[in-house]
Amino acid sequence: MNYSVFPTPFEKPNIMKTTIIEKEKYIELNTHLESPCPYHLGADISASFCDIVGRYEFDYLFFVVDANLEAAFRNSIFKYVKREFHCCIQIIPPGEMSKSFDSIMKTGSSLLQKGLSKNSILVSFGGGVICNLTGMLAGMLFRGIRFIEVPTSLMGQTDSSLSNKQAVNSSLGKNHFGLYHAPLFIWSDTLYLKTEPLESRKSGIVEAVKNGLISDASFLNVLEQKLGSGHHLSGQDLHDLTLQIIQSKLFILKTDPSEKKEGLILEYGHTLGHALEWNSHGGLLHGEAVSFGILFAANIAHKIGLLTREEKQYHSYLIQYILGYKSELPNGFSSAMLMQTMLADNKKTDDKVRFILLETIGRCHQREGNYLTPVSQDILLTALKDLTKE
Ligand SMILES: NC(=O)c1ccc[n+]([C@@H]2O[C@H](COP(=O)([O-])OP(=O)(O)OC[C@H]3O[C@@H](n4cnc5c(N)ncnc54)[C@H](O)[C@@H]3O)[C@@H](O)[C@H]2O)c1
């Protein structure tokens, strides 16, 4: 499909010029956040991690990791830090089900028993789940202690670590309990991405596709070129791709770092995506669920006359052809169940579920500066039935 015809409504981001500070082994990015913190990005930079941590005063470093990460890095980074500092590795079960108050309670209590004080530093070492949970825990322990964010998945390095948004899920849906809490710094070593499972990497790339769809159609060309030969990327490719995706998100965050106004467009595909992820009980990865949410939002936008048929088809081309996701939902989802969960979505007002919708590829629909479009339950139900084939 020829998508070069789609317009690029924004000036191409040129974050390289203004925000990258070159260090010897890593670069430092400016995240534009309200509570700014350095973002260090490099390949094979574990050794410098200890140098930077050593600049802070603390009694203990508490690493929070999941079992997969502990196994993958037991003989590398964890070995080095244990030699250098008083530190302890706290292991929690992998997966979305760990993003809960139950985990906050268990992990927090265990850390306190092990001697955590106000002068300790937490290190979130893992994917978006570990980073969201640990960030939330750090924000709550003694009304806020310091933490360092070490994202190890593509989603973590390019998306979840760029917002300071920490959250766990409620019994009704995703990210209902949360707070903003900034890390001391973010440390992203793209070497870590080599052990990330392919399905998880693919899930991270969905957010990159989303960034292109909502703000920069030309970024979709870049992604297609990088991913055209499949998802098996060299170390250098992974590093370059990570930097490009980070820049695509920073470009959006530049005007609204706390994602309350223009930054809300980053929620594209997330209303249904979160409902699917939540109801799958860990069966669908975040990006996989959001990929269905993106197709769903494109279908709604087409139904209400915002997107043409070709623009809707272009969404399917990206999700199915470039990312290799299926168009059919796995069994077990009904429109009634998804509707009920969407009605608990954090963007909902009154009885209206509100969506980020596109008016063309690369530009979101807005009315008087408001990017959230209320969609009637009739339209929602029809679009849900298209998806669930009921
Ligand atoms: N706060 C935000 O702004 C924001 C943005 C996007 C996503 N999120 C959240 O992030 C979560 C998804 O994050 P995710 O996609 O990283 O999933 P995840 O944290 O569940 O990690 C995916 C899987 O990959 C494994 N893994 C991660 N890095 C690895 C590595 N280097 N080597 C080996 N295994 C590795 C993990 O153990 C896990 O099994 C969701 O809960 C989502 O809501 C938050």
> How far is residue 254's CA from residue 263's CA, in Å, rounded to a whole number?
9
Q: Supply the pLDDT for residue 37.
A: 86
Instruction: Please tell me the pTM assigned to this model.
Output: 0.91
Instruction: Tell me phi and psi for residue 32, to 5 degrees.
Output: 60, 10
Residue whose CA lies nearest to ligand 1 atom number 30:
196
Superfamily holding 198-225+257-388: Dehydroquinate synthase-like - alpha domain (1.20.1090.10)
Residue whose CA lies nearest to ligand 1 atom number 13:
128
DSSP-assigned states of every residue in 327-346 = SSPPTT--HHHHHHHHTT-T
Q: Supply the pLDDT for residue 24.
A: 60
> How far is residue 10's CA from residue 12's CA, in Å, rounded to a whole number?
6
Whats the size of the chain, residue-wise?
390
Task: Give ∠ CA 303-306-309 in degrees, rounded to 5.
Answer: 65
- Pocket test residue of 31, 286, 291 for ligand 1, highest count of atoms within 8 A of CB: 286
User: pLDDT tens per residue, the chain (390 residues)?
Assistant: 433 333 333 333 333 333 556 666 788 887 766 677 899 999 999 889 999 999 999 999 999 999 999 999 999 999 999 999 999 999 999 999 999 999 999 999 999 999 999 999 999 999 999 999 999 999 999 999 999 999 999 999 999 999 889 999 999 899 999 999 999 999 999 999 999 999 999 999 999 999 999 999 999 999 988 887 666 788 999 999 999 999 999 989 888 877 888 899 999 999 999 999 999 998 999 999 999 999 999 999 999 999 999 999 999 999 998 899 988 899 999 999 999 999 887 776 666 789 999 999 999 999 888 999 999 989 999 999 999 988
Q: Supply the pLDDT for residue 257.
A: 76
Q: Does domain 31-195 have CATH number 3.40.50.1970?
A: yes
Q: In the chain, where are the structural domains located?
A: 31-195, 198-225+257-388
> How far is residue 110's CA from residue 114's CA, in Å, rounded to a whole number?
6
Q: Supply the pLDDT for residue 212.
A: 97
Q: Supply the pLDDT for residue 100.
A: 97
First to last CA, the chain: 30
Q: What's the token pair of residue 44?
A: 């094979």
Ligand 1: centre distance to CA 127 (Å) = 3
CA within 13 Å, CB half, 375: 32
> How far is residue 302's CA from residue 307's CA, in Å, rounded to a whole number?
5
Residue 305: name the closest of 375, 362, 353, 220 by CA: 375
Domains 31-195 and 198-225+257-388 share a fold: no
Q: Are 301 and 312 in contact (CB under 8 A)?
A: yes
Q: What's the token pair of residue 202?
A: 């693919």
How are beta strands 87-92 and 61-66 bridged, if at all? parallel
What is the distance of C-alpha 389 from the center of its chain?
29
- Pocket test residue of 132, 211, 284 for ligand 1, highest count of atoms within 8 A of CB: 132
DSSP-assigned states of every residue in 1-41 = ---TTS---SPPP-HHHHHEEE-SSEEEEE---SS--EEEE
DSSP-assigned states of every residue in 88-139 = EEEEE--SGGGSSHHHHHHHHHHHHHTT--TT-EEEEEESHHHHHHHHHHHH
**Is there an atom of ligand 1 within 6 Å of 129 CB?**
yes
Please state, as a whole number, how many other Cβ atoms lie within 10 Å of the Cβ of residue 54. 9
**Is there an atom of ligand 1 within 6 Å of 127 CB?**
yes
Amino acid (one-letter) located at 54? G
